[in-house]
Amino acid sequence: MQPTILAKYPFLPEAFDLVKDESMDEILHSPAFNRARELGVARVQRALKNEDSFLFIDERNCFDVVLSFFISKAIVSQMNDSFLLRRHAIFEAKNAYHYLEEESRETADAVARSLGIKRDRNGVSFVTFLKYSPNAYGQWKLANSRLSGGMVEVDDHTFLRLVQEAVRERVEGIKFSVDGLEKTLDLGPIRAELANRKVTHRADRVELESFPPCMKSIMAQIENSINVPHQGRFSLVAFLNGIGMKEEDIMKIMAPIPDFDDRMTRYQVEHITGKEYSTPSCDTMRTYSLCFEPDGLCARIKHPMQYYEYRLHVSSKKV
């Protein structure tokens, strides 16, 4: 693959071959690598802020761009924060998806093959489909797909979405740590951003203790960047709105969703909160398989709001 292609997909093994002979000392200290270091820090910052990062790539900057990916992985290792690890992998996977959308079928297939995904004329094997489906609902349910001879028919968008998941997994799995990184790179803004996020989250935890198990579980899935189905997102937003949480705070809770799109999520949140939809009852939650790990109190209530109000009432008596 050409270096200009590899710069768009620096997580591929072929891209590592481009930079593997460089000395780490040079990469960290030489002015020749200033741009690569800057780009490496920027990759992590943009991942944290959930921003896109489409770089103009040509023969002159492709080496720096590939190197910046490995520097960003070294920064993520240094931070040792599971949220950042996931967020960075999602960021790189989304960027790859957008680059792939512009590629010829031949190039997209070459990138996919390097990740272990093969497409024939009409589709991918059902094993690949199951392995890289972002969730098991709607179009991603095997029962809703056209299956023939062990192959699942996929259109271009679906194929690239599977590749996106493979990229996320690959990026998350790449281990790349470098000694003395913090002596040469200013990681203060990244640490501050991570600390700020934790403070915000702690503030929410005051009420979180009284949440019913179903809502705690949906939040934990979102926190872990698991793709929660629409009904789960809807129930959580309606619940958070029902207990009086502000839209901005709800948006922060939804941010780790893998396919988070600020504009679309805001639209959905505003739609749910504006119409004052109420939280589904426990019966409805069960119907959608969203009643996770009910506890003793659950046996005595019929609605997640009832659970929350009871717990709040009990904890206010303890104060």
Q: Which residues bind ligand SF4 (CB under 6 A)?
A: 212-214, 282, 285, 291, 294, 298, 304, 307
Q: Which is nearer to ligand SF4, 226 or 297 (CB)?
A: 297
* Closer residue to ligand SF4 (CB): 7 or 214: 214
> What's the rounded Cα separation, in Å, for the pair 8 and 119?
21
Q: Residue 280 carries which DSSP code?
A: P
The distance of closest approach from Cβ of residue 211 to ligand SF4 in the complex, given in angstroms and rounded to an integer, is 9
Distance CA 142, CA 63 (A): 41
Residue nearer to ligand SF4 on the CB measure, 63 or 307: 307
Nearer to ligand SF4, 123 or 304 (CB): 304
Side chain identity, residue 207:
E
The nearest distance, CB 197 to ligand SF4, in angstroms, is 27
Report the nearest approach of ligand SF4 to the CB of residue 301 (Å): 6
CB of 241 to ligand SF4, least distance (A): 16
Q: By C-beta, is 30 or 287 nearer to ligand SF4?
A: 287
**Closest CB to ligand SF4 among residues 140, 239:** 239
CB 238 within 8 A of CB 278: yes
Least distance CB 245 / ligand SF4 (angstroms) = 17
Our CA angle for 7, 9, 12, nearest 5°, is 110
C-alpha pair distances (Å), 200 with each of 83, 123, 248, 288: 14, 44, 12, 30
Q: Is 48 helix (H, G, I), strand (E, B) or coil?
A: helix
Q: Of 46 and 311, which has the nearer Cβ to ligand SF4?
A: 311
- Minimum Å gap between C-beta 228 and ligand SF4 is 15
Q: For residue 120, how far is the Cα from the chain centroid?
A: 28
Question: What is the closest distance, in whole angstroms, from the C-beta atom of residue 255 to ligand SF4 in the complex?
Answer: 23
Contacts within 8 Å (CB) and 24+ apart, 149-158: 150/125, 150/126, 151/120, 151/122, 151/123, 151/124, 151/125, 151/126, 152/123, 152/124, 152/125, 152/126, 153/122, 153/123, 154/119, 154/122, 154/123, 154/124, 154/129, 156/105
